[in-house]
Structure 1
Amino acid sequence: MSAGDLIGRRALVTGAASGIGRACAARLVAAGAKVVAADRDADALAAIDLDVEPVVVDLADLDAVDRLDLAVDIVVNNAGLQHVAPIEEFPPERFSYLLRVMLEAPFRLVRGALPHMYERNWGRIVTISSVHGLVASPYKSAYVAAKHGVEGLSKVIAMEGAAHGVTSNCVNPAYVRTPLVTNQIAAQAKSLGIPEERVIDEVMLEPAAVRRLIEPEEVAELVAYLCSHAASAITGASMKIDGGWTAH
């Protein structure tokens, strides 16, 4: 995808202040899109140094989500968070919070954006799922449940949107070099009773063939491709960037 491919398109990227979201926002801007960068962290959003329209919103506030201007051609559902704990110790309110941010909010965003997309007979929904949308790991019940749920939601959107020129796909990375990943190293170490320095090699990267963290820009490149005309026949798919995690 080159500069100008998305001229005339308006895109919404959630969790855009850092990590994968920021990389996606930058890549879509480079392709010519007007990008609405949404995040709950106003200071981080102001510091991203991109030509975007910043919108401060907490996706856990579903009423606030419904009030957003969703006249957009592209939605990148990226915002996410993690909580690591055994099921019997997992706080129920935290479980609900993760599902609200990573499953209910994407539903609300797509629900609000589809009428505009249908009117223009063109739209792209890209959801940053996870390898954990396809397989499970212990101690991540809410995250795995939310990602499995959004995989199903994406497929329904694909089926309903096809007649209107709208595609819907998931991108499924393994561990990406983001604050979400670095912040859970200590939590994983505590849950498993091992030193933090062993978590990346022995836990995070143990199932993968490519033994390195994925860079946010690698994910953003696939997101941009899925927004392009060349990807117009790709819908209802789950595109893995997992270093071979699920190959065995």
Structure 2
Amino acid sequence: ADLWKKVIDINLYGPLNMHHAVLPGMVNNGAGRVVNIASDAGRVGSSGEAVYSACKGGIISFTKTVARELARKGIQLNAVAPGPTDTPLFAQVAEGEAGAKIAEGLKRAIPMKRLAQPTDYPGIICFLSSDDAGFITGQVISVSGGLSMHG
């Protein structure tokens, strides 16, 4: 139960609190862009990560709902949904023989045959924050090397 609380506090309440703090100013200014970081776990599920997946699914739904509610106020919200990413946390999970098998299985399942790197995300985040994305709101974009493809 303590681990669930920590996961929910970080992955759901953290972003919700951020929105509570920044959206009123955006409404007052009549403009703003938010790019939330969700996860493909929130779109398609992830074995062994039910609470994390639920949080990220919540961020996806929240993003879409607030994007709809605030579109006429000049505020756009979108989400980026990373797939499996080579991070220190992933490396901890991939330790040992069982973890190594999971990591290799993921790499085989990803059409681009590799895990994402943290450097795979800034481009889409910058684009969604830019004027080039001026007519995009309420969208969730997976960055997963083709592991998940949504239309």
Structure 1, unmatched stretches of 5+, are 1-91
Output the CA distance in 2 between the equivalents of 1:136 and 1:146: 11
TM-superposed deviation, 1:227 = 0.3
Query: Does the residue aligned with 1:246 lie in a helix, a strand or coil?
Result: coil
Residues 31 and 73 of structure 2 are in contact (CA less than 8 Å); yes or no, is this contact kept in structure 1?
yes
Query: Does the residue aligned with 1:125 lie in a helix, a strand or coil?
Result: strand
Query: Does the residue aligned with 1:124 lie in a helix, a strand or coil?
Result: strand
Any idea what the Cα deviations from partners look like across 1:62-119, whole Å, max 9, x if unmatched? xxxxxxxxxxxxxxxxxxxxxxxxxxxxxx2211221111111211110110111112
TM-superposed deviation, 1:205 = 2.5
TM-superposed deviation, 1:206 = 3.8
- In the alignment, is residue 185 of structure 1 matched against residue 87 of structure 2? no
TM-superposed deviation, 1:151 = 0.6
2:128 matched residue in structure 1: 226
Any idea what the Cα deviations from partners look like across 1:11-56, whole Å, max 9, x if unmatched? xxxxxxxxxxxxxxxxxxxxxxxxxxxxxxxxxxxxxxxxxxxxxx
Question: Could you say which structure has the higher helix fraction?
Answer: 2
Output the CA distance in 1 between the equivalents of 2:107 and 2:81: 15
1:132 matched residue in structure 2: 41
Larger Rg: 1
- In the alignment, is residue 198 of structure 1 matched against residue 107 of structure 2? no
Residues 93 and 99 of structure 2 are in contact (CA less than 8 Å); yes or no, is this contact kept in structure 1?
no
TM-superposed deviation, 1:209 = 0.8
Output the CA distance in 1 between the equivalents of 2:89 and 2:66: 27
Residues 35 and 78 of structure 2 are in contact (CA less than 8 Å); yes or no, is this contact kept in structure 1?
yes
2:143 maps to a residue whose letter is I
1:32 matched residue in structure 2: none
TM-score scaled to structure 2, two decimals? Answer: 0.91
Any idea what the Cα deviations from partners look like across 1:122-181, whole Å, max 9, x if unmatched? 111111111111111211111111111111111111012211111111101111222232
- In the alignment, is residue 156 of structure 1 matched against residue 61 of structure 2? no
TM-superposed deviation, 1:198 = 2.3
- In the alignment, is residue 172 of structure 1 matched against residue 81 of structure 2? yes
Number of corresponding residues: 150
Identity of aligned residues (%): 27
CA RMSD of aligned residues (A): 1.7
Q: Greater relative contact order (Cα 8 A, min sep 6): structure 1 or 2?
A: 2
Instruction: Report runs of 4+ in structure 1 exceeding 2 Å deviation.
Output: 194-199, 204-207
- In the alignment, is residue 238 of structure 1 matched against residue 147 of structure 2? no
TM-score scaled to structure 1, two decimals? Answer: 0.57
Q: In the TM superposition, what are the counterparts of 1:54-69 in structure 2 within 5 Å?
A: none
2:17 matched residue in structure 1: 108
Query: Does the residue aligned with 2:44 lie in a helix, a strand or coil?
Result: coil
Structure 2, unmatched stretches of 5+, are none
Q: In the TM superposition, what are the counterparts of 1:43-58 in structure 2 within 5 Å?
A: none
TM-superposed deviation, 1:244 = 1.2
